[in-house]
Amino acid sequence: MKKMRLDKLLSGSGFGSRKEVKSMIKSGRIRIGGDIMRDPGFIVDTDTAEVYVDGERISYRQYYYLMMNKPAGVISATFDPDSKTVLDLVPPAYSHVSLFPVGRLDKDTEGLLLMTNDGRLAHRLLSPKRHVPKTYYARIEGMVGQEDIDAFKAGIELEPGFTTLPAHLEILGCNEQTGTSEVSVIIYEGKYHQIKRMFKAVGKRVLYLKRLSMGGLKLDESLPPGAVRELSQDELDILLKE
Ligand code: URA
């Protein structure tokens, strides 16, 4: 059971600003059950109340969960004075929802980015105590070898006093001609530029980076870069169990 002011429920459901929905309410366009309700501060039980706007029953959703295939060139933030942000790519149908990205990908990193307004889930997924695994595909300048796999497994010292948790590095292919390697990396934390700094520490450079999964949630590869879709119930259940 969740109790909420009628004006908050309506503006949170996309019917306009608080000011706009107050005037809708006062003009008699809202019914609760069979009765017109003109009090914006009326407390509604969002689980049971039957709320109608202009005769149409509305359903209230508290939380939204979107998967984005983040393209390169946009910032994982809700606002930036200079650059386009991931929020700019979210369809206007969600503009009434205070979405934020769960964790950050660098401006040039692509791939899975979860966006939600569920602060508790975000907190759980990002908590350093939980060690939620994140899988990346990367293209590396240089020949990645067994010594790098071993170094990642031992944990890499990124700065004095901080060594990463053991990370899983797998070589997908090495190209002698171009001098590049393709790898998959699983890390269990989310330090700033973590994968780039781990490769730098072993004398190599990340040329391209894409996140493929976060916990049990996998990037839907049919989503083109920049596209967004809501999580399915199964995907959400996986995350809620993390
Ligand atoms: N590690 C990085 O270096 N960059 C990212 O965007 C994510 C992980």
pLDDT digits (tens, 9 = 90+) for 148-183: 999 999 999 999 999 999 999 999 999 999 999 999
pTM above 0.85, yes or no: yes
Q: What is the pLDDT of residue 135?
A: 98
What is the spatial distance between Cα 211 and Cα 110, in angstroms, rounded to a whole number? 6
**Alpha helix stretches (DSSP H) within 61-138:** 119-126
User: Mean pLDDT across the stretch 67-76?
Assistant: 98
Confidence of residue 1 (pLDDT cuts 50, 70, 90): low
What is the spatial distance between Cα 26 and Cα 153, in angstroms, rounded to a whole number? 64
* Minimum-distance ligand 1 atom for the alpha carbon of 76: 6
Percent of the chain with pLDDT over 90: 90
20 close to 63: Cβ distance less than 8 angstroms: no
* Minimum-distance ligand 1 atom for the alpha carbon of 104: 6
Q: Is pLDDT above 90 for 59?
A: no
* Cβ < 6 A, ligand 1 pocket: 105-106, 109, 193-196, 209
Residue from 39, 106, 108, 220 carrying the catalytic annotation: 106
Q: Which long-range contacts (CB under 8 A, 24 or more apart) does 32-39 make?
A: 32/6, 37/6, 39/6
Confidence of residue 2 (pLDDT cuts 50, 70, 90): confident
Q: How far is the CA of 114 from the centre of ligand 1 (A)?
A: 15
Q: How far is the CA of 31 from the centre of ligand 1 (A)?
A: 50
Residue 106 catalytic?
yes
Between 14 and 108, the more confident residue is 108
What is the spatial distance between Cα 96 and Cα 217, in angstroms, rounded to a whole number? 25
Using alpha carbons only, how large is the chain's radius of gyration in Å? 23
Mutating to test ligand 1, I would choose from 137, 185, 196 the residue with most ligand atoms within 8 A of its C-beta, which is 196
pLDDT digits (tens, 9 = 90+) for 75-109: 999 999 999 999 999 999 898 899 999 999 999 99
What is the spatial distance between Cα 97 and Cα 116, in angstroms, rounded to a whole number? 9
Domains of the chain: 3-58 (3.10.290.10), 65-128+216-240 (3.30.70.580), 134-214 (3.30.70.1560)
242 close to 216: Cβ distance less than 8 angstroms: yes
Ligand 1, atom 3, residue with closest C-alpha: 193
Ligand 1, atom 2, residue with closest C-alpha: 193
Beta bridge partners of 211: 111, 136
User: Mean pLDDT across the stretch 66-70?
Assistant: 98
Helices then strands, counting H and E runs in the chain, come out as 6, 17
Q: How far is the CA of 138 from the centre of ligand 1 (A)?
A: 10
What is the spatial distance between Cα 195 and Cα 138, in angstroms, rounded to a whole number? 9
85 close to 94: Cβ distance less than 8 angstroms: no
